Structure 1
Amino acid sequence: MQTFGKLTLRAVEVFIAVVETGSLAGAAARLKTSPSTISQQISNLEATLGTRLLDRASRPVALTPAGVLWQSHAQNILDEVGLARAKLMELQLSSLPRLRLAMIDDLDATLTPDLVAELTRRYPGCSFEAWSGRSDEHQAALRDRQADIIVAADIDDPEDWCERHMLLREPYIMVTAKGLVQPGRDPLEQVIAAPLVRYSERLPMGRQIEQHLRRLRLAPDHRFKFDSSHSVFAMVKNCKGWALTTPLGYLHGKQFHGEIDVSPLPFAGFFRTVSLKARSQELGDLPGHLAELCRAMITERCIDKAGKTVPWFKSAIDVHQADISLSSVRAAKE
């Protein structure tokens, strides 16, 4: 009588990875292991099932008739395991004692109250803590387990421990003292002699702006540097100067809108992205659901509203896959 080995979930994952990438090397790259390990897993799987699944001599790797039959069963196994994991995660989260949310300043008033309300509805026994601040500090808090979910500007490429849900991409723009830039003349020539009010290089935004100015070989004076958009805008007004910010930064400082002008950059542009992040595989589908809610709120409360006063903002800010309304996001979860 033939004795079969044990069928492992890892072997099933390896088989599907080989089929989807078309090679042992491709599967190894996806699963962050070596081709020899992938080859051994496939050999063990074939021994367990008692049949050859892959024709390794072909390029790309081809399925044998048995492999074609096994593929659908293998995919079903992974799908069922994924569904079971999600349900177990929801069961675990239902008894979550505390959840901590860190929010970028520019979106705090727009997003935080509704996100906490949604979390309260979903996890009635949980307590919540939320705060706003700098993106780099939020990233460190997430890494050090001082925060569970953050909404922040992207600073570096996401690491393996972090899941990222992109919310938006926005360009940098120019704000100037009221009347500083007159129509019909080169705007760069008009602002370059005026004071440039900068964000501090302690901030990710400040560092990104300085790097871009250096690339363009622009070196305005360094007299004024601040940590907050409100201070930057107030100084732009007071010193008849100019500054670089983003549409969200401008919208956050609405009390200054009657005293400063806003326009696209008078030189080559650059962008920043804002994402919702959490530690990978710890909160189930919650980060993805909250990201959907954030995108809908940003579209309806920021972009649509701002488009009435600054029409070009509607096309300038790119909300990631924001093709769903706030009401429909909520209805889908009720």
Structure 2
Amino acid sequence: MKKTRLSLKWLEIFLLITRHGSLQAASEEAGLSISTVSHHLRSLEDELGVNLFDHKRRPIRLTAEGSIFQRNISEAMRLIHKAESEVTTANVAQTRNLKLALIEDFDSEITPELARSLIDSMPNCRFQHLTRPSHDILELLKNNDIDIGVATRPQFEQPDLIETPLLRDPFVMILPVNCGHPPEQLLDKTGPLPLLRYNQNQIIGTQIETQLRRLRVSHPVQFEFDSNQTLMNMVAEGHGWAITTPTNFMRARRFHRQIKLVPFPGKEFARFVSIFSTELCPPHILMAVNQTLRNLIQSHSITPMTEKFPWLRDQFNLMPDGLTES
């Protein structure tokens, strides 16, 4: 059998450079000095006897030989990581590392309980938890920077990711508690209060704007917020109304006495929250996260919200569970 003299570290550094187009960015992600990254790349090129990058150009670019090498090495590294993951996580209790990213919607109660449950079932695991917007979570997954992400389903399919549907979260309207104007008047702009929006860089903000365009409803863009809590606070103080979801409303408990939650007066629409992963994620780890999240969302969000607002019962619910024990 012919043995390779190529170092795994050289290959990992090579792929980082191709991803970022910069030795500086690759060194920052790898936690190495630029000189060390440059040394690894030079060693790889010397061993192969070809230049993988055109070093005279900025940003650095692959040569024709480098493009061929990158195609094959990307697939090889994917298989190596998949084999490593399957061997080192033969069962949940043996899991050693798990990187999760969740949207902030679950930060107050669900995420801490999810962490406690996973710690109990994976006592030897090193966890890393991130809170990010949905579009950032999907990018982290595509770059293999995390194992599992919980995010709002985007408009377009993600062919490189595995989606496990989790929650149907309908859009609703929130108004200041003392607002006497019907929701229909606010929607068609005959009411006095402005529409407060989620930032349109977020998937939830884009989905709301798309639906308003479908309904041919146009409001001036005056206020956009990244933070759900800030938006809720503005509504509670009487500065406007907003379109949100039961999950986001549930998180803002301290404002509940100052806010009215009512059905969206136009055609019903919803966002869908899913668990996203790659094929590198072992199925039993995905199953454990999925089942725990489903139980927590039911007990902390769906049950209390549908008891308080019975009209939500047919709209706010878990999606059919596509993961079952074999």
TM-score range, shorter chain: 0.5 to 0.7
Aligned counterparts of 1:100 and 1:309: Cα–Cα separation in 2: 35
Q: What residue identity is the alignment partner of 1:173?
A: V
Matches within 5 A, 1:1-334: 90-91=89-90, 96-182=95-181, 188=187, 192-321=191-320
State the partner residue of 1:75: none
Q: C-alpha distance in 2, partners of 1:258/1:223?
A: 25
Output the aligned Cα RMSD. 3.0
- The alignment partner of 2:205 has SS state of helix
Counterpart residue type for residue 219 of structure 1: S
1:192–1:220 CA contact under 8 A, matched in 2: no
Paired residues, number:
241
- Supply the AA of the counterpart residue of 1:171: P
Task: Tell me the CA shift for residue 97 of structure 1.
Answer: 3.4
Is contact 2:152-2:272 (8 Å) kept?
Answer: yes
Amino acid at match of 1:319: L
Q: Which runs of 5+ in 1 are unaligned?
A: 1-85, 323-328
Cα contact 1:180–1:190 (8 A) shared by 2: no
In the TM superposition, what is the alpha-carbon distance from 1:157 to its structure 2 partner? Answer: 4.4
How far residue 222 of structure 1 moved from its aligned partner, in angstroms, is 1.4
Identity %: 27
Runs (5+) with no aligned partner, structure 2? 1-84
> Is the contact made by 1:173 and 1:262 (CA closer than 8 Å) also made in structure 2?
yes
1:290-322: per-residue Cα shift (whole Å, max 9, x none)? 212211211122111223322323332121137
Q: Secondary structure at the match of 1:161?
A: coil
Q: CA deviation at 1:191?
A: 6.2
Pick the structure with greater CA Rg.
1
* Pairwise CA distance, 1:95: 5.2
Q: 1:185 to 1:156 in 2, by over 3 A?
A: closer
Q: Distance in 2 between matches of 1:186 and 1:225?
A: 21
CA shift in 2, pair 1:87/1:148, >3 Å:
closer
How far, CA to CA, are the matches of 1:189 and 1:219 in structure 2? 8
TM-score, normalization: structure 2?
A: 0.66
- Residue 281 of structure 1 deviates from its aligned partner by 4.4
C-alpha contact 1:180 1:240 (8 A) present in aligned 2: no
Per-residue deviation at 1:153? 0.7
Q: Secondary structure at the match of 1:285?
A: helix
* TM-score normalised according to structure 1 size: 0.64
Of 183-192 and 207-216, deviating more is 183-192
Assess if the C-alpha contact under 8 Å between 2:174 and 2:260 holds in 1.
Answer: yes
SS at match of 2:100: strand
CA contact (8 A) 2:102 2:150 kept: yes
**1 CA distance for matches of 2:245 and 2:183?**
24
Cα distance between partner residues in 2 of 1:169 and 1:202: 21
Secondary structure of 1:263's partner? strand
Mark the CA change 1:191 to 1:301 in structure 2 (over 3 Å): closer, same or farther. Answer: farther
